[in-house]
Amino acid sequence: MKLFWLVALTMTAFASNSILNRQAMVLEGVGPSSYAAIRLLAGALLLALLIALRTGPKPQFTRHAFWSAGTLTLYALAFSYAYITIPTGAGALILFGAVQVISFGSTLSKGQKIGALSWIGALLAFAGLCYLLWPGESAVLDKVGVALMLLSALGWTLFTIAGKQGSDPLGATTLAFVLAATIGILFWLILPDKINLRGALLAILSGAVTSGMGYALWYKVLPELSLPTASVAQLTVPVIAAFGGAVLLGETLTLRFGIATCLVLSGVWLTIFAQRKSR
């Protein structure tokens, strides 16, 4: 149960990122490159402060750190640009559905077996997510936006895989953010766009708290999760985001939302149970 609640807290942070990003882009009119750059920079500064205050050895820049930073940058930039043209629900379905497919494919390509309960849990969670999001969205989606969201899913999956290989979650996340922020700022200087105070504050909150701290916690729980379990757990993010939108933005909760939430959470629980049983 402790692992379940840690994963739930991490997924809540991820969902908060979607809410903050959508609010900044749509309500505040912030540009995608400026938002991504400030978000990455805020996360890097907070994490670097935590590293400076802790005792023990400091993290060292390695090839692994540069790889993690590249995947994090790909995720953050593609995510911001994709949401210019793609509706929130459809974007979440594409992102986390693709993460699940890529993660399961990576597991199978390595010759690792996925148990029947894990498959059932994954299908149950994915079905709940489709039931919640897909019927209410337009059948026609912008092809460029879809391609960008798929790139974001690839970046996030690779960042997750890299996180399973480290022994210092906070240090690894800090190095990834420091390097990714540098790339993000350079990208912003090349392709500058609109930014305002409210949008900058939203980006700072997203970068420092729900991204920086959230990703450090994600790297902490990842060694306890199989890759399929980690991918299925992330299918809860759109559901949590929908609930947050209802509470914070006045969106209406429906019976469809309740049924989909039960399906997704049941699938996640079944997948985690299957992993613990196999151990």
| H-helix segments, 54-168 | 63-82, 88-109, 116-133, 143-163
Cα 109 to its chain centre, rounded Å, is 23
Distances (CA, A) of 197 to 30, 38, 191, 202, 204: 10, 12, 19, 9, 10
Q: What are the boundaries of each domain within the chain?
A: 2-278
CA distance 252 to 11: 21
pLDDT digits (tens), the chain, 279 positions: 677 788 888 888 888 888 888 788 877 888 999 999 999 999 999 999 989 888 777 888 888 889 999 999 999 999 999 888 777 666 777 787 778 777 777 777 777 777 787 788 778 877 877 776 665 554 566 788 888 988 998 998 898 888 777 678 888 889 999 999 999 999 999 999 988 999 899 999 999 999 888 888 888 888 787 776 777 777 777 778 777 767 776 666 667 777 877 887 787 777 767 766 666
Cβ atoms within 10 Å of 5's Cβ, excluding its own? 9
CA distance 136 to 132: 8
**pTM of this prediction?**
0.79
